[in-house]
Amino acid sequence: MAGTRITNIQSAAKQSPKIQLPQRSSAALEAVQIRKKSSQSSGDRLSQSKSMVLQESDLPPKPISRHRRNQSQHNVVVPGSGASVLEPFVGLKGEHLNVTKISESGKKQRKNWTVMWSVLTTDQLLFYKEKQHESSQKTSKTDVVHLCGALIQWTTEKSSRKNVFQITTNTGSEYLLQTDCYSTAGKWYDAIRKSVDSSTKSDGGFSLRRSNSTDFLPRHSSLPGHGSASPSSKQRNPVHRRSINMFGSSKLKHSTSDSADKNGVKNRLKKFIIRRPSMKTLQEKGLIKDRVFGCHLLTLCEREGNTVPRFVQICVDAVDKRGMEVDGIYRVSGNLATIQKLRFVVDQEEELDLDQGQWEDIHVVTGALKMFFRELPEPLFPFRFFQLFVDAVKIKESKPKVQAVKKLIQEMPKPNKDTMKLLFSHLHRVLAFSRKNLMSTQGIGIVFGPTLMWPELDAGNMAVNMVYQNQIVEFILIESREIFNLDTK
């Protein structure tokens, strides 16, 4: 009987919507309301049935993660619009958006953000330089984006700005759209996506072309409205979730070729290292010259056929000639760039004349001399003598201390001993002009202590070692006449 009453009510409702219905149960009234709306199309019934189930908030939907776009994005419905997924967003008006074109038919372009007046139609997205009014003719159109067969997705990797989404056309052109307002960006994203789905479905499905290629691909596996990607395909390419699915296979090919190229480079480097000539061969051919700075003292003196390096002798003569009365000689630093230039000239075995104008500053000469001693592989005081000199300078009595230091110097190799004698004799003459150059034995000891000697291994206290270095140089300078027999010269 209940079924007969409902059938009678339905027929009455079809004949006259204004008929007064008797009081019935809530289930019967609900059935009447649903049947009353059945005069609409099947597509509208599907949209309304979905709107009854999906209760969304008034805010625009949050950006959906790229790797989940195919699963859920095509089911989102804007609440209150009353439109199905495939209908264009009718209520959207033109608005200023930040737009940049990053690819033209697969060819990458430089990113250049521009504020454009954007207008959305059923199948196109139009960009204007200036705001367009309804009465004005739209003649300043700069770009037209055809939405049929396009892809749209949120992106955080193509730009550091917030609220950025990308549109990829079927020809491989790529656009980035952005606005600082999140709700505005979400509104435009949904509207463009609906236009893409509507225009693509009405066109019977539009084939997509891979960026930077002429190959056309089916769009069913990557666009909204055509079903989500199969779980098996996601498991095969889990590492490419950040990119569009249709580019997955090409990325795998590139990674394979990259690994092959790396192996090829490694093999070529190994062959080059094996075949490269030795340092001795390069020196014999004249490709590499023997250096002066950084060369061992014994090797340098043997090569020059002397017991004192020629560069040390030239520098000492120049300071004796024009630097004895200079304030702060050896204490004041010279221009480092000029010192390095002088070093380069010496290492290239060019003719050196310190009387030239470029070496006029005597502090450049003294700086180069100190650099020569600092860069010796083994200091002027050989490593094995460091602790012996420390023990000798600890002797309290003056004469035994002098004899111990003199004995150690006599035991040194001849190049070290002769170079030390030349240098300390020169420094002794510098002290003779201390009233004008304001240099004292303590000042020279501080300058030349760490320059002429240092331990082979910094195992001890550096501060303690520096104190002994300064004391040893200062003591030898004071007792230079007795130690080097300068009076008998």
Q: Of 234, 233, 200, 206, nearest to 218 (Cα)?
A: 206
pLDDT on residue 464 = 81
Three-class DSSP labels, the chain: CHHHHHHHHHHHHHHCCCCCCCCCCHHHHHHHHHHHHHHCCHHHHHHHHHHHHCCCCCCCCCCCCHHHHHHHHHHCCCCCCCCCCCCCCCCCCCEEEEEEEEEECCEECCCCCEEEEEEECCCEEEEECCCCCCCCCCCCEEEEEECCCCEEEECCCCCCCCCEEEEECCCCCEEEEECCCHHHHHHHHHHHHHHHHHHHHHCCCCCEECCCCCCEECCCCCCCCCCCCCHHHHHHCHHHCCCCHHHHHHHHHHHHHHHHHHHHHHHHHHHHHHHCCCHHHHHHCCCCCCCCCCCCHHHHHHHHCCCCCHHHHHHHHHHHHHCCCCCCCCCCCCCHHHHHHHHHHHHCCCCCCCCCHHHCCHHHHHHHHHHHHHCCCCCCCCHHHHHHHHHHHCCCCHHHHHHHHHHHHHCCCHHHHHHHHHHHHHHHHHHCCHHHHCCCHHHHHHHHHHHHCCCCCCCCCHHHHHHHHHHHHHHHHHCHHHHHCHHHC
Q: Of 222, 202, 200, 203, nearest to 211 (Cα)?
A: 222
pLDDT tens across the length of the chain (489 residues): 444 444 454 544 444 444 444 444 444 444 444 444 444 444 444 444 444 444 444 445 555 444 444 444 444 444 444 443 334 444 567 888 899 988 888 788 888 888 888 888 888 888 888 876 654 555 566 788 888 888 898 988 888 888 899 999 888 889 999 998 888 888 889 899 888 888 877 766 544 444 444 444 444 433 333 443 343 343 444 444 444 444 444 444 445 556 666 678 888 888 888 877 776 677 666 666 678 999 999 999 999 999 999 999 999 999 999 999 999 999 999 999 999 999 999 988 777 889 888 999 999 999 999 999 999 999 999 999 999 999 999 999 999 999 999 999 999 999 999 999 999 999 999 999 999 999 999 999 999 999 999 998 876 677 788 889 999 999 999 999 999 987 644
pLDDT on residue 244 = 43
Is the whole model's pTM more than 0.85, yes or no? no
List CB contacts of 401: < 8 A, sequence separation 6 or more: 392, 393, 395, 475
pLDDT on residue 4 = 47
Distance of CA 476 to the CA centre of its chain: 54
pLDDT on residue 284 = 67
pLDDT on residue 139 = 53
| CATH class of the domain defined by 95-131+139-199 | mainly beta
Spatial distance between the Cα atoms of 433 and 428, rounded to a whole number of angstroms: 9
List CB contacts of 366: < 8 A, sequence separation 6 or more: 315, 319, 323, 329, 330, 334
The structural architecture, per CATH, of the domain 297-484 is: Orthogonal Bundle (1.10)
Spatial distance between the Cα atoms of 420 and 417, rounded to a whole number of angstroms: 5
pLDDT on residue 435 = 93
Domain chopping of the chain, boundaries: 95-131+139-199, 297-484
pLDDT on residue 332 = 93
